[in-house]
Copies of this chain bind each other. A is one copy, B any other.
């Protein structure tokens, strides 16, 4: 799995930049879009999509463009979330945020550009049938749109300074994080032309994986190693953020993490595919140290 992760991360990094480089658009706009795409991260969404495709025995080449499209949407959401009017973050992954480098106007437009271009990419997929492309447009726009990620961001903003219960917190995370993780699995399954049943199980698997991912994130902010994480720990508590450790306590949050990982594994076992990679990625999400 390490090899798969490392190799495909490089492939995705390269392809993301290529897509923007060839655009006939103002240089400043392309620079701003590329800056945030290059800021990197784990590329967990593209990796999940590619691992799903591989698990169904399909050629990874079929998945790169749509994996890039989803990563572009993820990147757009980070750029807009970091804006002064939103979370007002100066740093992301140790680097100045987009608006700190390019100014607010260009940051807003780079986000708009990435979001819009991701749909151009879906519409231009090679070797994918039109009815699948349309399902991809539908799934992606729903996960990212006013019922999905945008709703999650609004709910998160409105929850600031108010103590949430577990159900409210889960709902926000389903929409903010879970939706794009599930989406990656579903898009992989769609491209692989998986059965309706497998698709349905993978969606449920994705929801548990998304929650596990978020709980682990919250726990790392409490117990992680600053040097490995590349960011300060304890910032959630300082900012009085609603997190799993805050609502449940650290021990119960860890139990909940284990619960979601177990449920994910149980569901994955029911999918008619080579489950090896997704199983390893599930463990990785639970055990990661950054």
Contact = CB atoms under 8 A, between A and B. Distances in A.
A116 B145 contact: yes
Given A105-B157, A146-B29, A154-B29, A137 B122 contact: yes
A25 interface: yes
A130 B129 CA distance: 9
A26 interface: yes
A144 interface: yes
Contacts of A134: 123, 130, 133-134, 137
Interface in A138-183: 138, 140-142, 144-147, 150-151, 153-155, 157-158
B108 A108 contact: yes
A6 B112 CA distance: 32
Interface stretch (A8-16, A44-52, A79-87, A198-206): A79-87
A266 to B, nearest CB: 29
A16 B143 CA distance: 21
| Range, interface on chain A | 35 or more
B141 A120 contact: yes
A150 B116 contact: yes
A151 to B, nearest CB: 5
Contacts of A85: 103-105, 108
Interface of A: 23-26, 28-30, 33, 80, 83, 85-86, 103-106, 108-109, 111-117, 119-120, 122-124, 130-131, 133-135, 137-138, 140-142, 144-147, 150-151, 153-155, 157-158
Across the A-B interface, give the 10 residue pairs with the lowest CB-CB distance, nearest first.
A85-B104, A113-B146, A116-B145, A123-B138, A130-B130, A119-B141, A120-B141, A25-B146, A123-B137, A113-B150
